[in-house]
Amino acid sequence: MNGREPGLADMERRSQTILMLMILVLIVFLIQLWLITIALEDYLAAHHTLALPTFLASGACFLVNLRLLRYLFDVDRKKEDRP
Amino acid sequence: MSGTPKWREDFPIRWEADNYVTRREFTKFLVLVSGATFVGNGYFVLQGRREVEAERIRIEVARVEEVPVGGVKLFRYPSANDPAILIRLAENEWVAYMQRCTHLSCPVHYSAKSGRIECPCHNGAFEARTGRVLEGPPPRPLPRIVLYIAEGRIYAQGVQGS
């Protein structure tokens, strides 16, 4: 026996899953930051060509993040369902 | 009465779950910020549309005889919050620019002696003929205002990006 409580290994595994999700969300968010920087630069230069493409790309990134969030809720739900 | 001790209400998370809960909450927060960034990006779309609409407006800036060669006239374009400068470089040569420095938005002024548009805040300078940066910290040329001259009157009709 290693003295660990039951479920501790499961908790660690879920922590790893959440860590992976967090890194993915962070990467997508950094892409969004890059996009908004481009949009700002374009706006300050009195151009209006990149605002819409960056807005759409940022929306796609947000949708990806929402999907990842849903997966996070699924991980939570599995924990609650466990007897 | 439940069997849960009172202190558990103040400390509802087991230490083993600490990493899990903090990472989960941070991820949720990141998604929220991601949504805010998306909305922020939408602001530039709306602002761009508004400016494109405003630039369709043609306004009279000055009469030709009003500004001597080497002289300037300040005006507002495309909205009342946007200072602009009209410069008469030669008898038949006119240029107009947004009057905000592209560095930190200080008002720029024209120096007829040097033929440059100068920013007094950080010693930035632009070429009066083209608006391109000559020296100093400005990252971009001055946005140029398109002029239309008819019957001795000068009109502004749009802004050209740098």
- Quick one: residue B152, left, alpha or beta (phi over 0 = left, psi -120 to 50 = alpha)? left
Query: Could you state, in order of their start, the residue ranges of all structural domains in chain A?
Result: 18-81
**Which segments of chain A have a pLDDT < 70?**
1-7, 79-83
Report yes or no: B54 and B156 within 8 Å, Cβ to Cβ: no
CATH of domain B59-160: 2.102.10.10
Q: Would you call B26 an interface residue with chain A, using a CB distance cutoff of 8 Å? A: yes
Distance, in Å, from the CA atom of A13 to the CA atom of B43, rounded to the nearest integer, reads 41
Q: Would you call A29 an interface residue with chain B, using a CB distance cutoff of 8 Å? A: yes
Nearest chain A CA: its distance from B65 CA (Å): 31
CA distances from A30 to A70, B44, B88, B112, B117 (A): 20, 18, 47, 46, 38
Nearest chain A CA: its distance from B151 CA (Å): 30
H helix or E strand, kind and range, residue A67: helix A51-81
- Give pLDDT tens digits along chain B (162 positions): 567 788 877 777 776 677 778 888 899 999 999 999 999 999 999 988 887 777 677 889 999 999 999 999 999 988 888 899 999 999 889 999 999 999 999 999 999 889 899 999 999 999 999 999 999 999 999 999 999 999 899 999 888 776
CB contact under 8 A, B44 and A43: yes
Q: Would you call B105 an interface residue with chain A, using a CB distance cutoff of 8 Å? A: no
Of all residues in chain B, the one with the smallest CA distance to A23 is B27
Question: What ipTM was assigned to the predicted interfaces of this complex?
Answer: 0.84
Of all residues in chain B, the one with the smallest CA distance to A22 is B27
